Structure 1
Amino acid sequence: MTQDKRTIDAYTARVADYLKIPLPPEQLEARQAFADAVEAGGYVLDLGSGPGSDSAFLMRQGLKVRALDATPAFVEHARDNGVDAYLGTFDDVTEAEEYDGVYASFSLLHAPRSDFPRHLSAIHTALKSGGQLFLGMKLGTGEHRDDINRYYTYYTQPEIEETLTTAGFTIDRTVQGIGKGLAGSYDGFILVFAHA
Structure 2
Amino acid sequence: MTTEPDDVTATRLAYDTVAEDYADLLRDDLAGSEYDRAMLGVFSEQVRRDGGGLVGDLGCGPGRIAGHLAGLGMDVVGVDLSPRMVDVARRDHPGVRFEVGSMADLPFRDAELAGALAWYAVIHTPEERQGELYAEFARVVRPGGRLLLAFQVGEDVVHLTHAYGHDLDLHTRRQRPERVRDRLREAGFALRAEFIRQPVGPEKSPQSYVLAQRV
State the Cα distance separating 1:8 from its structure 2 match. Answer: 4.3
CA distance in 2, matches of 1:50, 1:7: 8
State the Cα distance separating 1:144 from its structure 2 match. Answer: 2.4
CA distance in 2, matches of 1:192, 1:97: 20
User: In the alignment, which residue of structure 2 is the partner of 1:71?
Assistant: 82
Unaligned 5+ residue runs, structure 1? Answer: none
Question: Does 2:179 align with 1:159?
Answer: yes
Question: Per-residue CA shift, 1:71-99, capped at 9, x if unaligned?
Answer: 23321122122220111221231531100
Question: Does 2:189 align with 1:173?
Answer: no
CA distance in 2, matches of 1:20, 1:37: 25
User: How high is the TM-score relative to the length of structure 1?
Assistant: 0.89
**Contact kept in structure 2, 1:176 and 1:190, CA below 8 Å:** yes
User: How high is the TM-score relative to the length of structure 2?
Assistant: 0.81
State the Cα distance separating 1:188 from its structure 2 match. Answer: 1.2
Question: Per-residue CA shift, 1:44-103, capped at 9, x if unaligned?
Answer: 000011211211221222221110012233211221222201112212315311000001
Number of positions where the alignment pairs a residue of Structure 1 with one of Structure 2: 194
Q: State the SS of the aligned residue for 2:78.
A: strand
Which of the pair has more CA radius of gyration?
Answer: 2
CA distance in 2, matches of 1:8, 1:155: 24
User: In the alignment, which residue of structure 1 is the partner of 2:47?
Assistant: 38
Distance 1:57 1:14, change over 3 A: closer
- My pick for the range that moved more, 85-94 or 118-127, is 85-94
Percent identity between the two aligned chains: 20
Question: Per-residue CA shift, 1:116-148, capped at 9, x if unaligned?
Answer: 101001101111110000011111103222462
CA distance in 1, matches of 2:90, 2:14: 23
